[in-house]
Structure 1
C-alpha cells in the first residue's frame, strides 16, 4: 500500500532532497553532510496513510510549537535544532538540525490510559508488557507516566508494542534506561506546564538520536498535536473517550459511518471533508495558542 505522498518534493536551491515521509521532508545542505533541513509539510497522516487534502498551516504550527517546547525542556535533554534561519520558501515550517544516528525505537510515554494502551490492557491487563492494576478505565491517570515503547516499522507497516526487555535487547540496558527516563520526564514536564494552560497531555511519542559525541539528543518534533493526545482539562472525566485538540478528531471521522471507510480493507481512506479540515486546523491552532500564550 502507498503511504508516502505522491507530489514531487519542493526544489530548494542549495539543498538536496533526501527523503519524504508521510508528514516531513528532509534535505541535506550542499557541502554540509552533518546537517539536515527538516521541513514540516501540511500533510496529515492517520492509520499509516497520508491523507488528502492537507491541513492549512499545520506544518508551521507543529514547527513553532516544537521550538517552544524544546526551550521548556532544555534542562532535561539537549535537542537537535541548530538554526531557524532557513530558505524563505519554507520559512516558519522548517529548521536546520544536527544529523543524528537515530535510535531504532519509538519512545512512547503515557500519563493516562487510553487508545492502543487501553485496548491492550482490556485484553491482557498490560501495556507493552507492563502489568497495571486491575479495574482501570478509559482516561484514568497514572501516578507517573509509564514507558510503552514500540518498534519503528518500515514505511507502510505498523509499529508494534515492545516490552522494556525487548528495548534492552535492541539497544542495550544503559541506553534503554536513559530512553525510559527521558521519555517519561518529558511527558511529566509537559503536563506540569500544559495543565496550567487547561490542557492534559494523555500520551506522547518522541524520537532520540546520538550526535557525533555520542550524546543522546531529542529529535524530530515534541509534544505536538501530531505526536501527542491533548485533552481539555476542564472536560476530563475517566470512563469514556475524552474530547481532543489533536488528530484524534481526524481518526474518529475516518472510523465513523459517514466516511464509509473500512480500516481493515487495506484501501486508502477517502478525502477529508472541508469541515473536518477546517476544524482540525482550528484545533491545532487553539492548542498552540493555549500552550504558548502566543497568537498564531
Structure 2
C-alpha cells in the first residue's frame, strides 16, 4: 500500500499549486495535496492533512448544493475506487474521480463583503471590479447585495486578472456568461446562509465550471478555505481586517516578514503550520458538524 503522492504511477495531466490531476482514460482523478500556495507561489512547507480537509469539505458541499447545478463528481469515496487505485492508500479521503469536462477559462468570484483586492479598489474608486458601490463602506463591510466579479484564468504562472462582465461576455458568449453569473450567485446565497447559521461568514468565494455533454457543470473544489474567505460570526467587526479561518493566516505571515513575492517562497515556521491547520479543521467542523 503506497502512502506518498510521488509514488502514484498514473499519467499526470496537470500539476497545480495544490491539486494534481491524473488521466484515468474516460475520467480524471483529482488529488488534493497538502501543499499550500499564497500570492501565486507554492510554499515549500506542507500543511499536514490539509488536502483531506479540502476534499471532505468539498464533498460535503457537492452534496449540499444538489439541485442548483450538476457537478463533475463520479465518486469521492475511496472504497468505491477501481482496484487499480486501491494500492495507493494516500488517495483515501483526498481524491475524487470526476467527469472530463471542458473547463470554462473564467474564475467565477462572488463577494458578499468588502475585503482583499475588493477593499483596495473600493478605497481608490468606490468600485469593485468596475461595479459601483455605495459611499461610506468600510473594510469588511457587508455589501448591500452580493456581487459577481469574474476573473480571467491565466496559464503559465501569470496572475489571474479581474475582468468586467462585458469582457467575460466577449470571451465566453452572452448565454454562458449569464448562466455562470446566475448559478454562482445562487450557490453563494445558499451556502452563505447555511454557513451563517453555523457561526461562519462566507465573505467571498471562487467557483469554476466546465462543459460536459454540452451542459454547464460545477468542477474543481468548492467552498473550501483555499477558495473562500471564512470569518467567525462571533469575532466579526466591521472596519478592520478579520481573523480568517483560511489561508489568509499564511498570507499575513508572509506580509509580516516582508517577503518580496518574487523570489522563491520561504519555509513556514512550525507555529504558523499548526495554527493554519487548526483554522482549516475548525472551519470544517463548524460547517459540517462532524469531528475531523
Q: Please tell me the TM-score bracket, short chain as reference.
A: over 0.9
Give the Å deviation of 1:144: 2.7
Residues 1-296 of structure 1 mapped to structure 2, 5 A cutoff? 10-13=6-9, 15-29=10-24, 32=25, 34-84=26-76, 85-86=80-81, 87=85, 88-211=89-212, 213-256=213-256, 259-263=257-261, 266-296=262-292
8 Å Cα contact 2:5/2:90 also seen in 1: no
Instruction: Return 5+ residue gaps in structure 1 as ranges.
Output: 1-7
Aligned residues: 280
Local SS of the residue matching 1:176:
helix
CA distance in 2, matches of 1:176, 1:243: 33
SS at match of 2:6: coil
TM-score, normalising length: structure 1: 0.92
| Contact 1:144–1:188, Cα closer than 8 Å, also in 2 | no
Q: Note the aligned Cα RMSD (angstroms).
A: 1.3
Task: Give the secondary structure class of the aligned counterpart of 2:230.
Answer: strand
Which blocks of at least 5 consecutive residues in structure 2 are unaligned? none
| Large movers: runs of 4+ above 2 Å | 8-13, 84-89
Q: Distance in 2 between matches of 1:51 and 1:187?
A: 29
Cα distance in 1, alignment partners of residues 144 and 284 from structure 2: 26
Deviation digits for residues 5-57 of structure 1, max 9, x if unmatched? xxx963435x322110110101011xx2x310000000000000000211000
Distance in 1 separating the partners of 2:7 and 2:273? 27
